[in-house]
């Protein structure tokens, strides 16, 4: 009887917690949609920040995110492959896994400060390269964990079949193991990209912002998230309206990427 009562209490508390969490989420989305759509117009997509638009901010944000992806995906995948296919249960593999877990939960602002000390302070100049590196550092542990976990789901019989056919280890890994797990790995990449494309804190210390259109990564670089932070603190209503519109656009982009990743994961299942 006591167990049944405890089970019902836990069930009620769990349900209430879920409802409260979802309620806050919908509250945020509803307020953001109302204010964002109200301030949204197509002109902002064709004007730069200095003209009251977000064109240069979108280009700048995705440029840094794509460069970060080009850095983080190969490094993360190779590390994940090493952990699962070569490291086994070695001490080095255990250390890398633990460090990766720590990095995944590290505050993004700490990563921003680290990259600031390494790439901004020495040249005394905020720059887009530093922003890209900061985002890639955030991305790498997610890719490592995803690759490691997805490769662990590949049946060992496939590896043994490749060995029986005379395949070398690296060919078995790349042509059989990775191909089998490619959907799961791709899903992890999308979710990691969604995570970094909405980051603000590391960019405050690295790329800063630029109101003009530029593709020069050696100087201050346009950033949608940093601009939202700055615009929200301006006293005029036009700037705050632009911040709401930009926030709505960013939320839609991140939501779309996340839903795409979830769809791929469901399709794999």
- Give me the CATH number covering residue 84: 1.10.3720.10
Burial class, 3, CB count within 10 angstroms (exposed 0-12 / middle 13-18 / buried 19+): exposed
Q: What are phi and psi of 219, to 5 degrees?
A: -125, -175
pLDDT at 193: 92
Question: For residue 16, is it within any domain?
Answer: no
pLDDT tens readout for residues 53-107 = 999 999 999 999 999 999 999 999 999 999 988 887 788 888 888 888 888 888 8
Question: For residue 6, is it within any domain?
Answer: no
pLDDT at 243: 92
Question: For residue 23, is it within any domain?
Answer: no
pLDDT at 68: 96
Q: How many domains does the chain have?
A: 1
Question: For residue 122, is it within any domain?
Answer: yes
Question: For residue 28, is it within any domain?
Answer: no
Give me the tens of pLDDT residue by residue for the chain, a chain 269 residues long: 577 788 888 888 999 999 998 999 899 889 888 888 888 888 899 999 999 899 999 999 999 999 999 999 999 999 999 998 888 778 888 888 888 888 888 889 999 999 999 999 999 999 999 999 999 999 999 999 999 989 988 888 888 788 887 878 888 888 888 888 888 888 889 889 988 998 899 999 999 999 999 999 999 999 999 999 999 888 888 899 999 999 999 999 988 888 887 777 665 54
pLDDT at 105: 84
Question: For residue 34, is it within any domain?
Answer: no
Taking the C-alpha atoms of residue 111 and residue 202, their distance in angstroms, rounded to an integer, is 6
CB 217 within 8 A of CB 129: yes
pTM across the whole model: 0.88
pLDDT at 164: 82
Residue with the two structure tokens 């789901």: 153
Q: Which of 88, 86, 99 is nearest to 144 (CA)?
A: 99
Question: For residue 158, is it within any domain?
Answer: yes
pLDDT at 1: 58
CB 231 within 8 A of CB 200: no
> What does 176-200 look like in DSSP terms, one character per residue?
IIHHHTHHHHHHHHHHHHHHHHT--
Taking the C-alpha atoms of residue 2 and residue 235, their distance in angstroms, rounded to an integer, is 58
CB 150 within 8 A of CB 188: yes
60's enclosing H/E stretch is: helix 55-81
Count of alpha carbons within 13 Å of 93, Cβ hemisphere only?
14
Taking the C-alpha atoms of residue 183 and residue 181, their distance in angstroms, rounded to an integer, is 6
Q: Give the residue numbers spanning the domain of 63.
A: 46-268
Taking the C-alpha atoms of residue 169 and residue 109, their distance in angstroms, rounded to an integer, is 40
Question: For residue 87, is it within any domain?
Answer: yes
Cα angle, residue 131 at apex, residues 101 and 264 outer, rounded to 5°: 55
């Amino acid at each position: 009887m006591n167990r049944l009562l405890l089970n019902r209490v836990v069930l009620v508390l769990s349900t209430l917690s879920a409802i409260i969490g979802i309620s806050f989420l919908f509250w945020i989305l509803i307020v953001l949609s109302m204010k964002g759509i109200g301030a949204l117009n197509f002109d902002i997509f064709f004007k730069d920040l200095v003209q009251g638009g977000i064109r240069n901010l979108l280009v700048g944000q995705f440029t840094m995110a794509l460069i970060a992806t080009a850095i983080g995906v190969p490094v993360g995948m190779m590390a994940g492959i090493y952990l699962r296919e070569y490291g086994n249960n070695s001490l080095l593999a255990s250390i890398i896994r633990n460090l990766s877990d720590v990095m995944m939960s590290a505050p993004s602002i700490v990563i921003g400060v680290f990259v600031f000390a390494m790439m901004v302070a020495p040249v005394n100049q905020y720059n887009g390269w530093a922003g890209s590196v900061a985002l890639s550092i955030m991305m790498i542990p997610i890719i490592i964990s995803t690759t490691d976990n997805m490769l662990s789901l590949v049946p060992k019989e496939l590896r043994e079949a490749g060995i029986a056919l005379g395949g070398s280890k690296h060919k078995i890994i790349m042509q059989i193991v990775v191909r089998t797990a490619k959907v799961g790995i791709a899903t992890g990449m999308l979710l990691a990209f969604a995570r970094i494309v909405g980051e603000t804190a590391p960019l405050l210390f690295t790329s800063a912002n630029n109101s003009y259109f530029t593709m020069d990564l050696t100087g201050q670089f346009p950033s949608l998230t940093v601009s939202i932070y700055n615009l929200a603190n301006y006293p005029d209503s036009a700037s705050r309206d632009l911040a709401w519109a930009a926030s709505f656009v960013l939320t839609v982009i991140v939501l779309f990427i996340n839903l795409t990743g979830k769809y791929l994961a469901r399709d794999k299942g």
